[in-house]
Amino acid sequence: MSGSADSYAGSVSAIVGRVDAFIRGVGAEDFCTIARDIFRLQFESIESYGAYCRASGVTPETISSWLDIPAIPQSVFKSAAWLAVFPQQKASGWFETSGTTDGRPGRHFYRETNLYPTAACAGIRHFFASAEKEMPQRFLFLKESPLETPHSSLSQMFEFWHEAFGCQVKGDPFIVENGTLQTSKMKAEIAGCVEPIFLAGTALFFARLMDEVDGSCPLPPHSVIMETGGFKGRRRTISQVDFYRRLDDYFSPSITINEYGMTELFSQAYATGGEGGHGLHRPPPWMRFRVRNPETGELQEDGRVGLIEILDLANAETCLALQTEDLGWIENGLLKLVGRNTEAELRGCSLTAEGCRLKSGG
């Protein structure tokens, strides 16, 4: 390997190490400094992104803040553009979006050195600490296991949680098998458990379960429900208020939370639910939101609705800044989701649940 290649590899490794320290709370650096250095690395290393930035008139020398860093539209992940600082032959795998109505999924490639495990586990821990709640150590997931769906970032995140926080509990926490929700298995797990349960899954799986399995399924005291994916634009729709009311009546959790994340990012934000639906999403310290006017491209002030853009330091090797297809507004760094951009293609984690069946047998 040449000296320049050694230097390049060292710079990537150094930045990943700095982000890892920042996520773990042991680094002394600030968000903006690391974000600017990641931007320079990606500007110089990702050909398509560098060209995109130059066409926008932005270079590492022209930015003064993380707010100036150009965001890649989500749709680019469905193109042939390579969006990583490492060559494709160095990728150890990829996560794939649930697709769109036209069947074209996007892919987020990663290396074994990726920061996803660190960010996913530190992020949920940060949320519970901020909410002053205790996180249950017993997990059940309304999702396929990563062995069955190796390209699902959501399945992999659930596996990270189980390994980091719930590995002392025996048994398989994944309730969906071969596209079928194993309701008897879930009920047996809940009935035989006295400690709090962390029940997590997509909104559509929760909705199908409540529709097709009569009665209720109360969780043990101090249990938590986490839902993600939503219903926007699908054949199956239900208001957020009604959905949260049904979750409360059916499962009786002590708290319901909503996860806002996506395949293209390694970090997530969370919001606490209530009678009025979920509230503001709180990002972890290594993740920032901004909102842009979809017509003018200008950044919006707090309280004004626009296209959501996310900067995620955990994406140090792939795509630091992402322009989503979601609308929302910001209040003191927290995000209020409003809905989908009407021009955006239909996608999301809940999409795969529509084709799945419920099964009474274990």
| pLDDT, tens digit only, all 362 positions of the chain | 444 555 555 689 999 999 999 999 997 899 999 999 999 999 999 999 999 999 999 999 999 999 999 999 998 998 888 999 999 999 999 999 875 555 678 999 999 878 999 999 999 999 999 999 999 999 999 999 999 999 999 999 999 999 999 866 677 899 999 888 998 888 888 987 889 999 999 998 999 899 888 889 999 999 999 999 876 545 557 788 889 999 999 999 999 999 999 999 999 999 997 656 678 999 999 999 999 998 899 999 999 999 999 999 999 999 999 999 999 999 999 999 998 886 654 444 443 434 433 333 33
CA dist., res. 86 & res. 78, Å (int): 18
CA dist., res. 81 & res. 225, Å (int): 37
CA dist., res. 322 & res. 69, Å (int): 10
User: Is 123 within 8 Å of 268 (Cβ atoms)?
Assistant: yes
Centroid of chain to Cα 223? 22
What is the longest distance spanned by two Cα atoms in the chain?
A: 67
| Ordered domains of the chain (ranges, CATH) | 68-362 (3.40.50.12780)
CA dist., res. 349 & res. 357, Å (int): 16
CA dist., res. 142 & res. 183, Å (int): 10
The DSSP output letter for 294 is T
